[in-house]
Amino acid sequence: MDTEGLLSQRMHRLKSSAIRELLKHSKMENIISLAGGIPSDALFDFEGLNEATQLAITQQPKNAFQYGLTEGSEKLREGIVTLCAERGVIARADEIIVTAGSQQALDLVMRAVVDPGDVFVVERPTYLAALQTLQLAEANIMSVASDSDGMVVDELEELLKTQKIKGVYLVPTFGNPSGLTLSRARREQLVKLAHQHHFLIVEDDPYGELRFTDERNPTLSQLGKEAYGDAANIVYTSTFSKILAPGMRLGWLVLPQWLLHKVAIIKQAADLHSNSLSQTVAEYYLGLNRLPTQIAKIRAAYKAKCETLAGLMTQELGDYISFDMPKGGMFLWARFRSQVNTSVWLEQAIKQGVVFVPGEYFFSDNPDCSTLRLSFATATEEQMHEAVARLRRAL
């Protein structure tokens, strides 16, 4: 079949997700996966979800099965206002759009603000599927390094001396893949730079609630609003995926007024509105007031799992591999002390029956091939022991 010229140029430039390819291995028998970024379904609150679903179907069948507002159900947005307030994000319901997960939120925003060739800056390493949305929007993606305190904002400041930028995308709290958190000082520096140089910050915050300590940094969104009010050009996105259930495909955006209506127009073109049934279930779930207990449960479980994996890695592979201890989230980001290429090592690991994600996939440029991402969310303690023993054998 002659398909020459039928695909857009844009599609030729788009890379498929290496992680999705890798996940095929994780489904193979006897393979233990530390690769996927998926939450543990052993922790899902099925009882609460069941109750909320029953209520949605019996009490609000019309809302649950009818078309809805593009911006999302009013009641759910009210619930999200409260969730936001608890994490220091100041938002009114009319600043919120409910999306099909944060993934759609990123796609909509990038489409609304990026013209082909516009410079968008990401962290090195960064969330892979955000890179895909930037590639689809034909952004000129540039990157700055990160260290134990998150994105090196000084490097961004240097870049700004020679480069006009449209925006910065980052996961400032318990990042994917790095597990790192941007320090308070750097948060303030970044928000100030965005105001001075008139660029947009896209703050992606799926993991902020999954913290293992009581330490809590203000969101960029909060710092921006406190310092500059409505003039702060910060987009905040978060999701129900990591605190409730990813299959509901529910996330949200908090947007500056000038952007909100534009994003709503793109959402109309994409899917008219987010799934009504999921939204109604989420409304009832929030009404049941089970979310705080649920989040506390996930936090405690991931903290224990993180400590187990980190302990095993130090014990078995500490001579070869180093990492910063995550203070929340789902990922442990590690680096070989010597020049081991983790993509090559992965082939050995698969032969031994364990998978992880080689770090190089999370870089838009200058990949550090000696890095790797391990997820501690889904494997059981027993599986972790076996997985790390297999990793050691693979070495």
Ligand X SMILES: Cc1ncc(COP(=O)(O)O)c(C=O)c1O
Window 270-309: contact mask with ligand X (x via CB under 6 A): ----------------------------------------
Which helix (H) or strand (E) covers residue 312, if one does? helix 291-317
The reply on whether position 251 binds ligand X by CB under 6 A is yes
The reply on whether position 179 binds ligand X by CB under 6 A is no
The reply on whether position 206 binds ligand X by CB under 6 A is yes
Quick check: 302 and 377 in contact, CB under 8 A?
yes
Quick check: 342 and 372 in contact, CB under 8 A?
yes
Kindly list the distances between the CA atom of residue 5 and the CA atoms of 1, 8, 74, 176, 322, in Å, as whole numbers in the listed order: 12, 7, 44, 36, 48
Stretch that binds ligand X, among 54-62, 63-71, 101-109, 276-284 (CB under 6 A): 101-109
Quick check: 39 and 246 in contact, CB under 8 A?
yes
In angstroms, what is the minimal distance from the CB of 371 to ligand X? 17
Stretch that binds ligand X, among 70-78, 97-105, 252-260, 382-390 (CB under 6 A): 97-105
Summarize the chain as % helix, strand, coil (round to 5): 50, 15, 35
The reply on whether position 241 binds ligand X by CB under 6 A is yes
Query: Pairing relation of β-strands 167-170 and 119-124?
Result: parallel
Stretch that binds ligand X, among 67-75, 99-107, 266-274, 315-323 (CB under 6 A): 99-107
In angstroms, what is the minimal distance from the CB of 106 to ligand X? 7
- Provide DSSP, 61-130: HHHHHS---TT--HHHHHHHHHHHHHTT----GGGEEEESHHHHHHHHHHHHHPPTT-EEEEEES--HHH
Give whichever of 70 and 239 is closer to ligand X, judged by the CB atom.
239
The reply on whether position 176 binds ligand X by CB under 6 A is yes
195, two tokens = 């105001």
Out of 70, 73, 102, 146, name the contact with ligand X by CB under 6 A: 102
Sheet holding 150-151, edge to edge: 96-99, 251-254, 234-239, 200-204, 167-170, 119-124, 140-147, 150-151
Site for ligand X in 105-134 (CB under 6 A): 127
The reply on whether position 204 binds ligand X by CB under 6 A is yes
The reply on whether position 173 binds ligand X by CB under 6 A is no
The reply on whether position 26 binds ligand X by CB under 6 A is no
Give whichever of 275 and 348 is closer to ligand X, judged by the CB atom.
275
List residues binding ligand X (CB under 6 A).
37, 101-103, 127, 171, 176, 204, 206, 239, 241, 246, 251
